[in-house]
């Protein structure tokens, strides 16, 4: 395992949508951390891809994330649990030529888990932001994280990702990123 690098990273946000978020046991933590990671990735010019599970019924990505990101973000509607069942998204991720996928979203044990396993099958180094993931129940959330770790994903937190990306307080964006967590 290697430490996260801005140049090698891609962020994949899974289904952080209104109705799904409202049903999670850890709604406020998930919402806050998801916004921080999205904003940090935008500041650091890390590519961001966002999936939305059946948005007509479940709503769109929450405004906090939409307002935190730049305009180059790509959105993908899906109905499959794994985001990589979408061949277009799969090919877009491949084209980015990144080796580290930073992933988070809803539900940890379903869509995040199945997408993580597909990414692992494609030989990516997968890093799951645990404090930006959620499920309806804490038991399912914990089981999902455990399963992904057992399958080879790295379970990290928002601050681990931020400070691994920065490497040093001398980074030109340090103050801007640090202000996200104050």
What gap in Å lies between CA 22 and CA 34, rounded to an integer? 14
Q: Point out which residues pair with 127 in neighbouring strands.
A: 102, 154
Q: Is 100 exposed, middle or buried (0-12, 13-18, 19+ CB in 10 A)?
A: buried
CA-CA-CA-CA torsion sign (74, 80, 81, 84): negative
Q: Which residues are catalytic?
A: 15, 78, 111
Q: What tokens were used for 138? A: 């804490």
1-23 as b/e: b if 16+ CB within 10 A: eeebebeebbbbbbbbbeebbee
* Closest alpha carbon to 46 in 67, 15, 16, 68: 68
């Amino acid at each position: 395992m290697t430490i996260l690098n801005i140049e090698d990273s891609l962020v994949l946000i899974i289904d952080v949508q209104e109705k799904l978020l409202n049903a999670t046991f850890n709604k406020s933590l998930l919402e806050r951390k998801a916004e921080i990671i999205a904003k940090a990735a935008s500041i650091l010019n890390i590519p961001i891809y966002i999936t939305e599970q059946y948005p007509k019924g479940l709503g769109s990505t929450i405004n906090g994330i939409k307002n935190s990101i730049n305009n180059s973000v790509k959105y993908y509607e899906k109905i499959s649990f794994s985001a990589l069942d979408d061949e277009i998204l799969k090919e877009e991720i491949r084209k980015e030529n990144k080796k580290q996928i930073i992933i988070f979203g809803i539900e940890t044990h379903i869509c995040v888990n199945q997408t993580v396993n597909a990414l692992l099958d494609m030989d990516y180094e997968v890093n799951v932001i645990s404090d930006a993931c959620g499920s309806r129940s804490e038991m399912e959330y914990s089981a999902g994280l455990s399963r992904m770790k057992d399958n080879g994903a790295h379970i990290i937190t928002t601050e681990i990702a931020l400070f691994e990306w920065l490497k040093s307080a001398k980074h030109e964006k340090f103050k801007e990123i640090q202000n996200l967590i104050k």
